[in-house]
């Protein structure tokens, strides 16, 4: 029982410290002098420093940084649509919890679409890819951002094709990869994906879609 209370006290102390630090960061941001040229959240520490302070509890601190990210987004979503510091916040979270894919997706698309900073949004997703090269999610997110924000079919095909070849990917990753590859003019890649769906899928609707696109590629003289 004594050990139980000791552990409970430790975790309670960590939680209290985390809340206190978050409050201190917010107060510093709200009360510091408005120096010309000093960016908002410039006092927010980098992830490597926070990781040292977190003492093995980086995931919990990543949740705190995520809370700050949501606050920052909400504040600027209602005002100036300026999300320039979200990339820094995502970098902090990546140092604390590199598998927090929902954050990278949210920040990447907020920057790349709403914030009109495609390069910044893609940088966030590339950071997630670099830290999780064998996971299909960040590859797919990067490809989808290229597709919807820039209509860059060639760049989108690069990312989506990688996503569709990694374990655990859903069926729609292959479908989109095949469609985008055909739009980009990568006939061999498109053929490979649609043929794979035709031969392996148990879903008759998907098999029909694969036949349709393979016939379309043939009729256009691409196969």
Condensed to tens digits (0 to 9), the pLDDT of residues 115-136 reads 889 999 999 999 999 999 999 9
The model's pLDDT over 67-108, given as tens digits with 9 standing for 90+, comes to: 888 888 888 887 887 887 888 888 888 888 889 999 999 999
Phi-psi region of 168 (alpha: psi -120 to 50; beta: other; left: phi over 0): left
Tell whether the model's pLDDT for residue 192 goes beyond 60. yes
d(CA 177, CA 46): 36
CB 103 within 8 A of CB 95: no
* End-to-end CA separation in angstroms for the chain: 72
CB 187 within 8 A of CB 153: no
CB 147 within 8 A of CB 155: no
């Amino acid at each position: 029982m004594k050990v139980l209370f000791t552990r409970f006290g430790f975790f309670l102390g960590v939680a209290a410290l985390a809340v206190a630090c978050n409050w201190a960061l917010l107060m510093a941001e709200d009360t510091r002098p408005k120096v010309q040229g000093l960016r908002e959240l410039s006092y927010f520490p980098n992830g490597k420093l926070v990781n040292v302070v977190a003492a093995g509890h980086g995931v919990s601190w990543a949740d705190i940084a995520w809370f700050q990210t949501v606050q920052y987004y909400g504040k600027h979503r209602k005002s100036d649509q300026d999300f320039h510091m979200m990339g820094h916040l995502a970098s902090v979270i990546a140092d604390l919890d590199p598998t927090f894919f929902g954050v990278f997706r949210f920040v990447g698309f907020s920057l790349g679409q709403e914030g009109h900073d495609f390069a910044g949004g893609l940088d966030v997703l590339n950071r997630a890819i670099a830290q999780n090269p064998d996971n299909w999610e960040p590859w797919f997110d990067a490809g989808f951002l290229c597709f919807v924000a820039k209509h860059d079919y060639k760049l989108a095909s690069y990312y989506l094709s990688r996503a569709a070849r990694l374990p655990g990917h859903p069926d729609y990753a292959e479908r989109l990869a095949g469609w985008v590859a055909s739009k980009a003019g990568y006939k061999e890649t498109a053929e490979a994906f649609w043929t794979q769906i035709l031969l392996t899928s148990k879903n008759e609707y998907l098999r029909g879609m694969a036949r349709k696109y393979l016939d379309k590629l043939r009729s256009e003289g691409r196969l």
